[in-house]
Amino acid sequence: MRGEGGAITKLVEEFRRLPGIGPKSAQRLAFHIINLSKEEALRLAQAITEAKEKIRFCSVCCNITETDPCETCADPRRDHSVICVVEKPSEAALIEKGGRYRGLYHILHGSISPLDGIGPDDIRLRELLARLADKSVSELIVATNPNTNGEATAMYIREVTRLLGVRVTRIAQGVPVGSDLEFADNSTLAHALEGRREM
């Protein structure tokens, strides 16, 4: 990009800051923008500006929202006594897409990671504990990822809620639907057997 002046280099640099975008993809996206009509490019710019201006965090569940509280938290038809705890907003959206869950959510915006120095104070755990204070919640479903950090977060939640009289459950772990037992690894199979249920 040498010698091509400020604007395009700046655009490539901005794209490179996005997750999963390397130098080549950044360049491809930048040239795509350049080739758009002025209206199309402005529409994209406006969409980004609007999203940044309108979207904020729900003061109850910490999910991203345009209204506060968010639509889910404000919906009286949902079960307000159950909270599903996830790491990212995209995971709540995924569970919602499944169409089976009717309770509320809590978004932690991360997970405890000892190796990266991320402790309980660095994620939205304080907000979760505040929601449990009025005793209206009867169950917390911990749906953090089934990896070291997600498990550490789940363990921490179990410890700090031990005395609050709330039922804490963990999402099941095991063989994915549509896969084959033959290709499951030892650890997943062990979890699947541990978490077996009566039929």
Partner 1 sequence: MEKTEAVVLHTYNLTESSKIVVLLTPYRGKVRAVAKGVRRTKSKFGSALEPITHVEAEIYFKDGRDLQNLSQAETLDAFPSIRSDLTRLGLASLICELMEQFAQEDEDSSALFALLLIALKTLASTTKNYASLLISFYLRLLDVSGLLPEINHCVRCRRGIEGHAYLEASAGGALCGGCSGGAGEKVYAGSLKIMQRLLTCDWTMLDRTRIAQPSADEILRALNTYIIHHTGRELRSARFLRSLPKLDRE
Query: Binding to partner 1 by residue 121, rule CB under 8 A?
Result: yes
Q: Do residues 169 and 141 lie in contact, with contact meaning Cβ atoms separated by under 8 Å?
A: yes
Stretch that binds partner 1, among 6-14, 47-55, 71-79, 107-115 (CB under 8 A): 107-115
52, with CB counted inside 10 A (0-12, 13-18, 19+), is exposed
Query: Binding to partner 1 by residue 71, rule CB under 8 A?
Result: no
d(CA 166, CA 142): 12
Tokens of 89: 């907003």
58, with CB counted inside 10 A (0-12, 13-18, 19+), is buried
61, with CB counted inside 10 A (0-12, 13-18, 19+), is buried
Stretch that binds partner 1, among 28-36, 50-58, 79-87, 112-120 (CB under 8 A): 112-120
Interface residues for partner 1 in 125-154 (CB under 8 A)?
147-148, 151-152
Nearer to partner 1, 80 or 88 (CB): 88
Report the nearest approach of partner 1 to the CB of residue 159 (Å). Answer: 5
Query: Binding to partner 1 by residue 169, rule CB under 8 A?
Result: no
Task: State the residues that interact with partner 1 by CB under 8 A.
Answer: 20, 112-121, 147-148, 151-152, 155-156, 159-160, 176, 179, 183-188
